[in-house]
Every structure is written in structure tokens, then in C-alpha cells.
Amino acid sequence: MSRLVEINFDGIIGPSHNYSGLSLGNIASSTNAGATAYPREAALQGIAKMRHNMELGLAQGFFMPLDRPNSGWLESLGTTIADAEPHLRAAAFSASSMWAANASTVSPAPDAPDGKCHLTVANLQTMPHRSHEWPGTLAQLQLAFADSSHFAVHAPVPSPFGDEGAANHMRLCSPHDAPGVEIFVYGKSGGPFPARQHFEASKAVARKHGLHEDRVIFAQQAETAIAAGAFHNDVVAVANERVLFTHEQAFEQPAALYEAIRDKLPEVEIIIVPADRVSLADAIKSYLFNAQLVTLPDGAGMALILPSEARENEAVWGYLTDMVAGNGPIRRLCPVDVRQSMANGGGPACLRLRVVADPATVDERFMATPDKLDAVAKVVTDHWPEAISPDQLSGPELTRIIGSARHRLLVACSLGELAD
Ligand code: SUG
């Protein structure tokens, strides 16, 4: 019998993690440009988050870091790691596939007429350093979800329509294994910053997944939110089962969106955080909405797995503690330390891709167990570079260390076939 649960697949933070300031409109990335990064510490923080969530009783999977620097991509641009201009070299080294929320858009089986879980790999074409992720990500999705009686993995939406995956997609349902309402959030303009998710890409994904138009909503991201640094919608809103937790200023036309949701899912609970309690600036700085909103087992309600930065912001923590003291669906706050990722604009929710599926239908090499996480942590501890500053990226020795570290991880996880 099939048992559909939400599985969180975290991107293991790769050995080339660094701060090159590559993402215009992502305030943390720009602010920390040039700083020294600590890949080993970063990956161990990510592993600790996975362990934390497993201890809560949640299903956990992971994806391997991609092969970096991507010399094939540089070759297609007529250059090499040694000769590339610094901005291209940095783009080739980026460990950005750690943010698995941008790997793909997922429509679980109960939403699709063919009864399969559909995944479209995101093209991420707005940012050069992310635009070359998709072939490596697609290879992993095709392995992890190879069982074609349960999954359909789709190629990316073509250019010029930027698609950033699940970071701009929310699913409301009650509970996970019931048919859901899928909300595709796109951007039109972000003032000085790019709007990364194109409306045409959102519509294409919904069509490719075969979703019925009655169960789909398209909503525009607020221009002011993008301009304030919400480069993805998951920086200002998160949904889980029948709960939408959102900042008041996340959407261009919030009232129309809430009405459309209530119309399609009357049992929805919309928790709107007002700007006079938490400003957009505080929401973006603390990443309070980039929490994993999860349903705890055994009827214990929902929990927010938050970045520890949210606890350090008085306005944010004040709001959250008042909220959990009330009688709402969110019962628990769990801060986790993912500071290394946060300094590049990636919170707990960015680091994971949610897939509602029966874990028995997923290639078990991608499913986490405590023992496997011990083995992953050992490879990281022994082989991930301790520190990388962007001016070190040109050295051949660093390229060798990063390549061999990743290779050891693939071997430890029996995923040698992803070697290139
Ligand atoms: O695409 N940062 C990522 C962060 C992605 C966060 N994901 C979600 N919100 N789901 C980005 O902007 C920074 C890389 C650098 O500057 O070195 C970066 O790519």
C-alpha cells in the first residue's frame, strides 16, 4: 500500500561554498561578497539541520553537490578555469545547488490526473552561476525518482522564461496526501532587481504537470517585496497543508489571492504577519518566512524550523512567541544554525526540496538515515576545505581538493555514477 508523506531533500553543501556576491537582488549575497567562507562548517550545519528534522520524526532525503568548478560550462564559453575572467570563474565554482528549493517544481501524485508525482527541473536562467545547474540536477532527479510508475521528471522550461522551481511555488491541501491547490508565484518587476520567476514559466510548468485549472492559482509577487530583497517568494511566505503563513506585503494583490485560495480550499488558514509588527526589511533580514513549516507526527501540530537569525531579531521573535502562545496551528518554534548558507541568502527552506511521495518508491540512496548522515559528516570533516576566500578560486590545488572531496562523498553514498 502506498504511503504518501512529505520528504524533505536537502542539498548537501558542496566543498566549493564561497561568497562571490553573484546574486543581484539577494542582499545577503551582495553584503558578504568577498568574505571568507567555511565550506566544512557550512556542510556540517546543513547535516545538523537534517538530523534535527529526522529527530522530529520527519522523512529526510538529500542530493549530492554538483561537480564544481564546471569546466564544461567554461569550455562552452570558450575559456578554462585558469583563463576565465573572475566573474565567470566564480560562476563556475558556485556551490549554489545546495539550495534545493530551486532544484525543481513538484506536483505530488494526488494533484495530477495521471496519478504520478511530476517534477520539472528549474532552468534558473536569470543568474549565470545558477543557469548551469540544471543538467546536473536533472541527472539526480532522474536517478532518485527513476520509478516511472510513480514519477515523471520533466526537462526545463526553455529560454527566455526564467523558472526558479519550488521557491516560487506553494501547495495547500489537507492533508499532504489529499489533492492540493497549487499556487505559482511569478514576478513582473523588482524595481532595481530582476524578477526571477517568469509568468510564462509558471504556466508552462502547470501545463506540463497536467494540473486542472480549477486547482491552480497564479499570483504576482509584490514589486516592493522583490525590490526590498525578496528575490524568491519563499523569503516572504511559506505554506504547509492547510496553512499559509505570509507577510502582508508579499503579493501584488493579496486580497484577491486570499479570496481565490478560500474559494478553492475553504478550510485554509491564512496567517498574515502585519508590517507594523514585522517590517518587510526585518522579515528579509531575519528570514523568518524562509522557515520549514512542517507537520509534526502524532497530531502535535505544526512547527517552524527557523534560522537562528529570527530569534535574534526582537520584533520577529516577539511576533513569533505571541503567535505560538495563541491557539493557532503553529505550535512550535525550532531555530537551527545555518549561518554559512544564510550569508549567501539561503535559509532552512532554501536548503530543501519537498516531495510528497512514498519513500519506498524513491531510490534509497537518496534517503537519509542517521548512519548515512554519520558517513556523510565524516567525509565532510575529513575532506571539505576549511576556508575559501574568493581570491583563492583560481588555484589548481583548490580545484583538485574540491573534486576529490566530492568524489569521496559520491563513493560513500554509492552514487559514483554521478561522477561527471
Ligand atoms: O539564488 N544565493 C542563492 C540563494 C538561493 C535561496 N533559495 C531560495 N530562496 N529558495 C540565490 O540567490 C549566492 C551565491 C554567491 O553570491 O556566491 C546565491 O546564489
**Tens digit of pLDDT per residue, the chain (420 long)?**
569 999 999 999 999 999 999 999 999 999 999 999 999 999 999 999 999 999 999 999 999 999 999 999 999 999 999 999 999 999 999 999 999 999 999 999 999 999 999 999 999 999 999 999 999 999 999 999 999 999 999 999 999 999 999 999 999 999 999 999 999 999 999 999 999 999 999 999 999 999 999 999 999 999 999 999 999 999 999 999 999 999 999 999 999 999 999 999 999 999 999 999 999 999 999 999 999 999 999 999 999 999 999 999 999 999 999 999 998 999 999 999 999 999 999 999 999 999 999 999 999 999 999 999 999 999 999 999 999 998 899 889 999 999 999 999 999 999 999 997
Q: For residue 129, what are the domain limits?
A: 5-418
pTM of the model: 0.98
Q: Residue 22's pLDDT is what?
A: 97
393 Cβ below 6 A of ligand 1: no
CA–CA dist 84, 47 (Å, integer): 33
Cβ 289 under 6 angstroms from ligand 1: no
What pLDDT is attached to residue 1?
54
Q: Which atom of ligand 1 is nearest to the CA of 33?
A: 16
**How far is residue 139's CA from residue 89's CA, in Å, rounded to a whole number?**
23
Is the distance from the beta carbon of residue 20 to the nearest atom of ligand 1 less than 6 Å? yes
Find the CATH number of the domain harbouring 32: 3.75.10.20
* Any ligand 1 atom below 6 A from CB of 102: yes
Whether 316 contacts 278, CB under 8 Å: yes
pLDDT value at residue 420: 73
Q: Which ligand 1 atom minimizes the distance to the CA of 235?
A: 9
Query: Residue 296 contacts by C-beta under 8 Å, 6 or more apart in sequence?
Result: 56, 57, 302, 303, 331, 332
| Distant-in-sequence, close-in-space partners of 36: CB < 8 Å, separation ≥ 6 | 19, 387, 388, 389
Q: Give the per-residue pLDDT at 394.
A: 84
Write down the pLDDT at residue 390. 87
Contact indicator for 206, 184 with CB cutoff of 8 Å? yes
The count of structural domains within the chain is 1
CA dist 164 and 350 (Å) reads 11
Question: Would residue 350 show up in a list of annotated catalytic residues for this protein?
Answer: yes
> Which residues, 6+ apart, have CB-to-CB distance to 4 below 8 Å?
108, 109, 110, 176, 177, 356, 357, 358
- Determine which one of 164, 182, 241, 309 is catalytic: 164
Q: Which residues pair with 171 in a beta bridge?
A: 182
- The region that residue 210 occupies, defined by phi over 0 for left and psi between -120 and 50 for alpha, beta otherwise, is left
Burial label, 199 (beta-carbon count in 10 A; 0-12, 13-18, 19+) = middle
Could you confirm whether 87 is annotated as catalytic?
A: no
